[in-house]
A and B are shown apart, each in its own frame.
Chain A
Amino acid sequence: MLSIDGLDVRYGTTHAVRGICLEVADGEAVALLGPNGAGKTSTLRAISRLVPSTGSVVFDGQDLAKVPAENVARLGLIHVPEGRHVFGDLTVHENLQIGTTARRGRRSEFGFDEVYDLFPALVPLRGRLGFALSGGEQQMVAIGRALVAAPRLLLIDEPSLGLAPIVADAVASALVEVRSRTALLVIEQNVHLAVRVCQRAAVLSGGVVVLEAPAAQLHDRGELLASYLGQSRTGTGA
């Protein structure tokens, strides 16, 4: 479904992503792990054509090199960026409505009703403006807005960042639900959440993939993983 080969991203003299190769198969959920500055967000932004890159990004047989970002979304490659970016001047429901812009003719697994079922907390907030939402509510809107676009592959950047554990847990549960219907590529600092949602993980460090393994095996390689992530803990259950 998504095939990345030799992806390179540079910002001036900074070489953020150095020749990454990565595959996401149909219906697969892949976690992208790694410490701050490893190049995870740059990789996602390059896939969505938000930053210039070299190397090839092929989605469903189509090379995305010359495709503008809005058309990447219209192909069904939907990006939920870091920081959620809910439209502050639009209501919750309007944020969901604008998500359908990228749907084109695809049949959507998620309509507005399914999103409200997935995130019941949003139901009473339908008419509330985006800037008046909490971080967790914004994350739900951002994921919902992506789901109504009939995604074939969802790119999600740090879904649990800055959320209280109980809210992060609700978001993870929703992603487990989503995983059964669409492919995922998720950046996540919280390894526990990543293992719960994804079948496979790639660990980035210094702009290269240093480890790729089925998510279940991450438990066995906890110490190695922790050394890459620069975390002091040795387990993955934190």
Chain B
Amino acid sequence: MDKFVALTASGIAYGAVLAVVALGFLVLYKATGVVNFAHGDLVTLGAYLAVWTTTSLGLPTVPGYLAAIALMGLVGVAIERVAYAPLRSRPPMVVVIATLAAAIVIRGIIAVWQGSEPKTLAGPVGNRVVHIAGAAIAEQRLLITGVAAVAVLALLFVFQRTPYGRQVRALAADPEMARLTGVRTRLVAMGAFALSAMLAALAGILIAPLGAVDLNFGFGLMVTAFAAAVLGGFGSLGGVVLGALVIGLIQQLFGGYVLPDYAATFPAIVLFLVIAVRPEGLLNLTRSRL
């Protein structure tokens, strides 16, 4: 029982981080139609920036985290300026390749700046654990779940209830008509790049204290989050959150009970099965542009 509780808690925390990664990915996709393959490296960069603000700059953990997230907003704008704005009128595949190039550049910059040795990021709650139903659960996991839940709800609110959210949804549905209603597509796109990069950083910062940060840290998360997004129907934000939790739980519970050595392959297997059997995702609530 306590093993089940511990694995479930891990699965939910992991799923919550995946949800934040996937939503960052999706915000950008909705606003610009761009599938950003640099998203995983933005997760990595966010975690490294937090390591830098809390160690080199000596900031306390939470202000250091917030500074890193704010910096990542600027990084998002920079990527929009360099890798997206000049290519706006090109076919989508050109932009996708540009995001791959951005990913390689980001990774190269991190390697030059921080080296290839794994780093550790201090968590605000240290290594404390709480006992729930006999299981020892790291407080960091509860913190991850709580912060991710707040971030997801805030994002859903922005999407459903604010003018910016409506403009993003209008752009996703019909870009030309959005312009005819006066939506400034360039500003909306820039905002989406910033928001997406900040969500990537948040995800990286949440999960980094549970392990080590290295150059491949975010890439694996991105692939897993992509599986979650496809599982959720690639378009519906609620569906993506559900997909992320399902993937997180599958990975932890299957990995914990059945095939511990193969846990890392489960998201890829789920991705493969979803595409083969139910390509529209679990919840086919909205149509997507893919």
Contact A70 B185 (CB under 8 A): yes
- Please tell me which one of the listed residues B166, B174, B181, B287 contacts residue A73 in the complex, with CB atoms under 8 A apart: B181
**A-B Cβ contacts below 8 A, count:** 71
Once A89-B286, A101-B163 are accepted as A-B contacts, the answer to whether A79 and B170 lie under 8 Å apart by CB is no
- Asked whether any CB of chain A lies closer than 8 Å to the CB of B182, the reply is yes
Residues from chain B with a CB closer than 8 A to the CB of A185 are none
- Asked whether any CB of chain B lies closer than 8 Å to the CB of A85, the reply is yes
- Please tell me which one of the listed residues A68, A88, A101, A103 contacts residue B173 in the complex, with CB atoms under 8 A apart: A88
- Dominant SS among interface residues on chain B: helix
Looking across the interface, which residue of chain B has its beta carbon closest to that of A69?
Answer: B179
Contact A98 B166 (CB under 8 A): yes
Which A60-115 residues have C-beta < 8 A from chain B? 68-71, 73-74, 78-79, 81, 85, 87-90, 94, 97-99, 101-103
A interface residue count range (under 10 / 10 to 19 / 20 to 34 / 35 or more): 20 to 34
Residues from chain A with a CB closer than 8 A to the CB of B163 are 97-98, 101
Once A87-B169, A89-B169 are accepted as A-B contacts, the answer to whether A102 and B174 lie under 8 Å apart by CB is no
Contact A69 B173 (CB under 8 A): no
How many residues of chain B have a CB within 8 Å of chain A?
20
Residues from chain B with a CB closer than 8 A to the CB of A78 are 180
Contact B166 A70 (CB under 8 A): no
- Asked whether any CB of chain A lies closer than 8 Å to the CB of B2, the reply is no
- Asked whether any CB of chain B lies closer than 8 Å to the CB of A147, the reply is no
Distance A171 CA – B189 CA, assembled complex (angstroms): 35
Residues from chain B with a CB closer than 8 A to the CB of A70 are 179-180, 182-185
- Asked whether any CB of chain B lies closer than 8 Å to the CB of A7, the reply is no
Residues from chain B with a CB closer than 8 A to the CB of A145 are 181
Give A39-68 as 1s and 0s: 1 = Cβ < 8 Å from B's Cβ atoms: 000000000101000000000000000001
Contact A149 B169 (CB under 8 A): no
Contact A89 B173 (CB under 8 A): yes
Looking across the interface, which residue of chain A has its beta carbon closest to that of B176?
Answer: A50
Contact B169 A101 (CB under 8 A): no
**B residues lining the A interface (CB < 8 Å):** 163, 166-167, 169-170, 172-174, 176-185, 286-287
User: What are some 10 contacts across the A-B interface (CB < 8 A)?
Assistant: A50-B176, A68-B179, A81-B176, A85-B174, A87-B169, A89-B172, A94-B166, A101-B181, A101-B182, A149-B182
User: A90-B169, A98-B181 given. 8 additional CB < 8 A pairs?
Assistant: A70-B179, A73-B180, A74-B182, A81-B180, A87-B169, A87-B170, A89-B286, A98-B170
